[in-house]
Amino acid sequence: METKRFSTFEGVFTPTVLSILGVVMYLRLGWVVGQVGLVRALTIIALANLITLCTGLSIACIITNQRIGTGGAYAIISKSLGLEAGGAIGVPLYLSQAISIAFYITGFSECWVLVFPQHNFIFVALYTWLGLLVVSYLSARLAFRLQYAVIAIIAASLVSVFMGKNSFQQSVALWQGVGGVGFWRVFAIFFPAVTGILAGVSMSGELRDPEKSIPRGVLSAIIITLLIYMALAVWFAFSASSQDLVNNTAIIIDLAKWRFLVIAGLMGATLSSALSMFVASPRTLLALGKHRVIPFSNSFHYVNPKGEPSTAILFTALIALLTIALGNLNSIAGLLTMFFLITYGTLNSAVFIEQTIGIASFRPRFKVAGIISLLGSFGCIYAMFLINQLFSIIAILTTLLIYFILVRRQVQRSWPDVRKGLFIFIAEEVLKISSRLPYHPKIWKPNLIIPVEEPRNWVGMIDFIRAVSFPRGRISFLSILDAKLITDIAAARKKRKDDFLLLTEPLREEGIFTTPTVIDTADISAGLTIATQVSAELPLCPNVLFIKLGLDSQKDAILKVLIERAQSLKFGTLILALHPKSAFGQRKKINLWVRQGSPNVHLAVLIALQLEKNWEAELRVLQAVSDSTQKNEAEEYLHKFKRLMRLSQKSQMCVLTGKFEEVITGAPAADINIFGMTSEVDIARMRWTSDAICTSCIFLRDSEQENAVA
């Protein structure tokens, strides 16, 4: 159970301020002023803080819209974009936080050895690591109380700085400094100074009132540290020349009134940053374990009787110790910054998405304009590539890799995220655009509506349906329950839906869009008619009615009504007469029967081409003529037909002489034969044709939506 222990000041404001007022403030801010001049330095500070402020506002917005619980930024992203997205951000974020501990300890140890050169660097680092581990393991409250002392030391150091040497009479380089490094490169060097705003957010599970504490603590910390940085920049500009500021990055110590206070502040800043990460990062790991995102989740989810995630703390300490043992890791320091920026950018994106898609659940008490979160998101991406393009690409690819691994693991269960709402919003906007554009047969693809009486009887048909619709077709299964014969309609509907899920799983695995619809009605014929009418009015409506002929001729009357209804709704019609013995044979040879002037040739050709491609079969086009005098004309027609329809060169053209009823019995062997339908629907003749030719047959009727020549 989460323990609510911390107020706004100790749980959010203090760790956030201490994470921002760090080494960059002491050792790089003067260098920034010296490089680009005071006005441009203030511009850099303002731009960097603008990105951070936008992110802080986005956090404030989303934190007042939903309960976050443990995990801070990871929890926010998970509840907006799903556990997979949260895990993809949370795992590298946690590792970055854990490794950052080693960097801060290294920085503290280097400062210590400068003051006490007789001390061994390794021992200082190890003692510091052990001390921070003990403090964070015993109590996060103890860690935060120690930070009060640190923030007091930093405040005292700032007083010492502002009371130090300065001359407001000297000329100040306002617009141009030494200029050895370009503006955006200087921005990239300064920006990591303002990437510490998640220290307080990570304590979300242990705050007494996170909905109030996080917005207040984060935003006030950002504003106060912004004022401090700007005041310091002005002080640097009036206290030393640009050349001195660039040549001596530690000039702040020399200029301060009391050197020891600045040194103590510098050491305290690095120590407090390490302690903040020592407290915050195990909370991220705790949340990852709680949601079963990572291996050994049960262990990392453990919380001791004092409310501390002890296992997560020890594991984090181990990562930090290994990082220290590896020595100088400055080469990957930039990569850690990338993961922080990806987190900030994703937080902004999550807010922008929820604002944009118009869901009713998005009702934050702290409202921000959409442009703010959008600006914050783009700002983070821009800053990433300014700082280091290579590390930006590596960080993005790593995040995507983790995301796809989690998707394959299917960590998501019943989780309140808005991803489906996002895709529905995109689909709605695209449909609005497409509805204003005219339809042309050039864009036709097979979108089938298939009446199914019993899904389990269609298992053997799935491969054929795939061959007709793959790769970009859609399939709508329509099933009617006879309400007169069923006592528990709800149970019957659920069972039928479950049967459809099993039936269509192979199609969905191949990315074919399938939707099952189950209707209970006392009049099956009326139910089918109404369902097809409704389907025709949908934004993504079907264009081909697919019917499998059964052996029960008593149902032929219903099929005729359905076929006539499809024609009036401008659906194409595909009727499959499945041969009981040969079925689909070897799926290697297709006979397409055509005749001059046929109104049904376009759909027949398109379906034949689908089968040819997906079965990797041979296509043969046949035409029957009554006598030999018509043969030359028929051959010429087939030659033109092949060229006009853009059939493959391997396609064979064949003219057969004689009455159709006699010709089909001696036709070249095939695994399936395709015919255009006659103007009058004669279902009995379809069955006879399939039996006579000893193969399964497809009978097709065109609508106005397909054109094989387009």
- pLDDT of the residue at 174: 72
pLDDT at 391: 84
**Which class in CATH covers the domain with range 8-409?**
mainly alpha
C-alpha 266/C-alpha 157 separation (Å) is 8
Q: What is the pLDDT of residues 468-500, one digit of tens each?
A: 999 989 999 998 887 777 778 888 888 888 899
Lowest mean pLDDT among 147-151, 183-187, 364-368, 418-422: 418-422
How far apart are alpha carbons 347 and 341 in whole angstroms? 10
DSSP for 417-436? --HHHHHHHHHHHHHHHHHT
Q: Please answer whether residues 468 and 510 qualify as being in contact, where contact means their C-beta atoms are separated by less than 8 angstroms.
A: no
Q: Residue 1: its pLDDT value, please?
A: 43
Lowest mean pLDDT among 70-74, 310-314, 487-491, 597-601: 70-74
> pLDDT at position 696, please?
94
Which residues face 482 on adjacent strands? 521
* Candidate ranges 327-331, 335-339, 386-390, 568-572; pick with highest mean pLDDT: 568-572
Q: Is the pLDDT of residue 701 over 70?
A: yes
Tell whether the model's pLDDT for residue 588 goes beyond 90. yes
**pLDDT reading at 308 higher than 90:** no
Tens of pLDDT, residues 88-147: 888 888 888 888 888 888 878 878 887 788 888 889 889 999 988 888 888 767 777 787
Lowest mean pLDDT among 16-20, 170-174, 315-319: 170-174
Q: pLDDT tens digits for 540-561?
A: 889 999 999 887 777 788 888 8
The ranges assigned to domains in the chain are 8-409, 441-701
Condensed to tens digits (0 to 9), the pLDDT of residues 242-262 reads 888 888 878 888 888 888 898
Q: How many residues does the chain have?
A: 710
pLDDT over 70, % of the chain: 95
Q: What is the architecture, at CATH level 2, of domain 441-701?
A: 3-Layer(aba) Sandwich (3.40)
Q: How far apart are CA 356 and CA 12, in angstroms?
A: 29
Helix (H) or strand (E) holding 342: helix 333-357
Q: State mean pLDDT over 520-536.
A: 81
Range 376-382 average pLDDT: 90
pLDDT cut 90: percent of the chain above it: 26
SS3 content of the chain, % helix, strand, coil (to 5): 65, 10, 25
pLDDT, mean of residues 583-605: 92
In the sheet that 572-577 helps form, which strands lie side by side, from edge to edge?
Answer: 513-521, 474-482, 447-452, 544-548, 572-577, 696-701, 672-676, 589-593, 618-625, 652-657
If you average pLDDT over residues 212-223, what whole number do you get?
90
- Furthest-apart CA pair in the chain: how many Å? 115
Would you place residue 389 in the very low, low, confident or very high pLDDT band (cuts 50, 70, 90)?
Answer: confident
413 vs 573: which has the higher pLDDT: 573
| Local confidence band at 647 (pLDDT 50, 70, 90 cut-offs) | very high
Q: Is the pLDDT of residue 205 over 50?
A: yes
Residue 154 three-state SS: helix
| CA torsion, ordered 331, 335, 340, 342, to nearest 10 deg | 160
What 3-state DSSP class applies to 412?
coil
pLDDT attached to residue 328: 54
The pLDDT, as a whole number, for residue 412 is 54
Q: What is the DSSP string of 554-584?
A: GGHHHHHHHHHHHHHTT-EEEEEE--TTTTT
Assign 414 a pLDDT band (cuts: 50, 70, 90): low
Mean pLDDT of the chain: 85
Q: Where in 39-148 does DSSP place strands (E)?
A: none
